[in-house]
Amino acid sequence: MDILRKVQQYRTTKNALKWEGTFSEYLDLLKEKPYLAQSAHSRIYQMIKEQGVTDVNGVRQYSFFSEELFGLEEALEKLVEEYFHPAAKRLDVKKRILLLMGPVSGGKSTLVTLLKRGLEQYTLTDKGAVYAIKNCPMHENPLHLIPEHLRGDFEEEYGIKIEGSLSPLNRLRLEEEYDGKIEDVLVERIFFSEDRRVGIGTFSPSDPKSQDIADLTGSIDFSTIAEYGSESDPRAYRFDGELNKANRGLMEFQEMLKCDEKFLWHLLSLTQEGNFKAGRFALISADEMIVAHTNESEYRSFIANKKNEALHSRMIVMPIPYNLKLDQEERIYKKMIEESDIKDAHIAPHTLKIAAMFTVLTRLRESKQSNVSLLKKLYLYNDQDVEGFSDQDVSALKKEFADEGMTGIDPRYVINRISSTIIRKEMQSINALDVLRSLKDGLDDHPSITKEQKEDYLDFISATRKEYDELAKKEVQKAFVYSYEESAKTLMNNYLDNVEAFCNKTKLEDPLTGEEMHPDEKLMRSIEEQIGISENAKKAFREEILIRISAYARKGKKFEYQSHERLREAIQKKLFADLKDVVKITTSTKTPDEQQLKKMNEVVATLVEEYEYTTQSANDLLRYVGSLLNR
User: pLDDT of 247-296, one tens digit each?
Assistant: 999 999 887 887 777 777 778 888 888 888 887 888 889 999 999 988 88
pLDDT at 155 over 60: yes
Q: Which fold has domain 32-319?
A: Rossmann fold (3.40.50)
Residue 133 and residue 186 in contact, taking contact as beta carbons nearer than 8 Å:
yes
pLDDT at 628 over 90: no
Instruction: Give buried/exposed letters for 355-389 (b at 16+ CB in 10 A, else e).
Output: bbbbbbbbbbbebeeeebebbbbbbbbbeeebeeb
Give domain limits for the chain. 32-319, 341-470, 491-569
Task: Find, among 498, 467, 448, 480, the residue nearest to 604 by Cα.
Answer: 480
Residue type at 257 in one-letter notation: L
DSSP notation for 242-283: HHHHTTTSEEEETTGGGS-HHHHHHHHHHHHHSEE--TTSSP
Q: What is the pLDDT of residue 482?
A: 58
Q: What is the pLDDT of residue 435?
A: 94
More confident residue, 620 or 486: 620
Q: What is the pLDDT of residue 244?
A: 92
**Low-confidence winner among 104-118, 191-205, 502-516, 581-595 (lowest mean pLDDT):** 581-595
Residues with Cβ < 8 Å from 398, sequence gap 6 or more? 74, 381, 404
pLDDT band at 573 (very low <50, low <70, confident <90, very high): confident
Residues 367-394: tens digit of each pLDDT: 988 889 999 999 999 999 888 888 888 8
**Low-confidence winner among 245-254, 510-519, 539-548 (lowest mean pLDDT):** 510-519
Q: What is the pLDDT of residue 487?
A: 74
H/E run at residue 201: strand 200-203
Residue 294 and residue 247 in contact, taking contact as beta carbons nearer than 8 Å:
no
Q: What is the pLDDT of residue 298?
A: 87
More confident residue, 605 or 586: 605
**DSSP assignment, residue 372?**
-
Rounded distance, CA 331 to CA 67, Å?
10
pLDDT at 127 over 60: yes
Instruction: Give buried/exposed letters for 403-429 (b at 16+ CB in 10 A, else e).
Output: ebbbbbbbbebbbebbbebbeeeeeeb
pLDDT band at 425 (very low <50, low <70, confident <90, very high): low
Q: What is the pLDDT of residue 622?
A: 87
**615: three-class secondary structure by DSSP:** helix
Say what the alpha-carbon torsion angle 349, 355, 357, 360 is, to the nearest 10 degrees.
-140
Residue 110 and residue 322 in contact, taking contact as beta carbons nearer than 8 Å:
no
Mean pLDDT of the chain: 88
